[in-house]
């Protein structure tokens, strides 16, 4: 568990981060969102002490990070940035093996781990391990950046706009890969993003920053249904909030035995997908199917509307 306590940082007269406290449960994903210049990156960098706070502290499993040398802390906490920061004259294998090497692992163990994390990030070692960063696409570089950050199995992964530079299709792919990696590793993740949709998709909790302060920290559905103030409401975008809410809700609990015609949707769909299918095909009921494609029941439009309302 990470406890951020009363962190403060000024640059000259400007308070970039102003008395911020935040608790990150072990194995959770927390997204920091907010406008440009609201202090998100500065807050993230104070967690691994790339930026030294003026006040406050960070406890990692109960121990103040002040008692850990900065270099050691950076090895314990994976760090991914938008332009991935790969060493240009090193191969992908050497880039990914950086921290295990610093930690003094044996060569064979490093090689095995590099192969393992590359596969986890859907990078075939036989194709990519010997390449240099300039021989990779943006999405591949980004995945190498994530692979490098998780190579030494850190307890904590800090990510600063990790997918900001990717186009929407590759970005969705990278988000899925990150979810798989998180499921496999159970790492505690703190990520900065400009994209509320990305935060909704990935995070267990969203911390909204404005002018150096956290104005709300809540589960995605609470952020949508109970925004703390006008600033949070504006960030969600009023016209999109109903769809965003439905995108967080699983369809399965609304399945009934009523028969329905037309193409079925998988039972693990979200209610946003169900509503989209209803609108697109002009139906007010859609059949739902299990993993084998067998129809198991249907969902009614009126139930979707009811479920999507804020409680």
Contact residues for ligand ATP (CB under 6 A)? 11, 14, 16, 34, 36-42
For the CB of residue 231, give the shortest distance to ligand ATP in the complex, in Å.
14
For the CB of residue 132, give the shortest distance to ligand ATP in the complex, in Å.
28
Q: E strands within the chain? A: 2-11, 14-24, 29-34, 55-60, 63-64, 77-81, 156-160, 188-192, 205-210, 213-218, 265-266, 285-289, 295-300
Q: How many CB atoms lie within 10 A of CB 118?
A: 23
Going by their DSSP bridges, the two strands 156-160 and 77-81 should be labelled as parallel
Q: What is the DSSP string of 55-91?
A: EEEEEETTEEGGGS-HHHHHHHEEEEETT----TTS-
For the CB of residue 170, give the shortest distance to ligand ATP in the complex, in Å.
21
For the CB of residue 200, give the shortest distance to ligand ATP in the complex, in Å.
18
30: three-class secondary structure by DSSP: strand
Helix, strand, coil in percent for the chain, rounding step 5: 45, 25, 30
For the CB of residue 43, give the shortest distance to ligand ATP in the complex, in Å.
7
For the CB of residue 214, give the shortest distance to ligand ATP in the complex, in Å.
12
For the CB of residue 221, give the shortest distance to ligand ATP in the complex, in Å.
24
Cα–Cα distances (Å) from 18 to 11, 103, 207, 263, in that order, read 11, 35, 14, 53
Q: How many CB atoms lie within 10 A of CB 53?
A: 23
12/88 with CB nearer ligand ATP: 12
81/254 with CB nearer ligand ATP: 81
For the CB of residue 234, give the shortest distance to ligand ATP in the complex, in Å.
16
CA atoms of 305 and 254, how far apart (whole Å): 11
23/35 with CB nearer ligand ATP: 35
29/46 with CB nearer ligand ATP: 46
Q: 80: buried, middle or exposed (CB in 10 Å: 19+, 13-18, 0-12)?
A: buried
40/75 with CB nearer ligand ATP: 40
15/283 with CB nearer ligand ATP: 15
Say how far residue 309 (Cα) sits from the centre of its chain. Answer: 26
115/210 with CB nearer ligand ATP: 210
213/283 with CB nearer ligand ATP: 213
CA atoms of 6 and 44, how far apart (whole Å): 14
| Angle made by CA atoms 254, 257, 260, in degrees to the nearest 5 | 90
User: Comparing C-alpha atoms, which of 132, 115, 113 is closest to residue 123?
Assistant: 115
First to last CA, the chain: 30
């Amino acid at each position: 568990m990470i406890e951020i306590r009363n962190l403060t940082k000024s640059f000259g007269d400007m308070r970039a981060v102003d008395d911020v406290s935040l608790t990150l449960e072990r194995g959770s994903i927390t997204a920091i969102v907010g406008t440009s210049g609201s202090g998100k990156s500065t807050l993230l960098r104070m967690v691994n002490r790339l930026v030294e706070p003026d006040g406050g502290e960070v406890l990692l499993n109960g121990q103040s990070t002040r008692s850990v040398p900065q270099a050691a802390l950076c090895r314990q906490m994976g760090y991914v940035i938008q332009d991935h920061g790969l060493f240009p004259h090193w191969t992908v294998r050497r880039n990914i093996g950086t921290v295990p090497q610093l930690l003094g692992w044996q060569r064979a163990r490093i090689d095995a781990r590099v192969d393992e994390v590359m596969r986890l990030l859907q990078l075939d070692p036989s194709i990519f391990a010997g390449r240099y960063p300039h021989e990779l696409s943006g999405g591949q570089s980004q995945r190498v950046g994530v692979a490098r950050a998780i190579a030494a199995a850190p307890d904590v992964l800090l990510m600063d706009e990790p997918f900001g530079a990717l186009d929407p299709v590759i970005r969705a792919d990278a988000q899925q890969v990150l979810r798989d990696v998180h499921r496999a590793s159970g790492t505690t993740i703190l990520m900065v993003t400009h994209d509320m949709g990305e935060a909704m998709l990935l995070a267990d909790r969203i911390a909204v920053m404005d002018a150096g302060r956290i104005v709300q920290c809540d589960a995605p559905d609470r952020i949508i249904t109970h925004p703390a103030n006008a600033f949070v409401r504006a960030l969600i975008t009023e016209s999109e909030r109903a769809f965003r809410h439905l995108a967080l809700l699983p369809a399965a609990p609304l399945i009934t035995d009523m028969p329905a015609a037309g193409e079925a949707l998988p039972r693990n769909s979200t209610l946003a997908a169900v509503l989209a299918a209803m609108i697109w095909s002009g139906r007010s009921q859609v059949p739902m199917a299990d993993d084998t494609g067998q129809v198991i029941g249907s969902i009614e439009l009126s139930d979707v509307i009811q479920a999507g309302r804020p409680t």
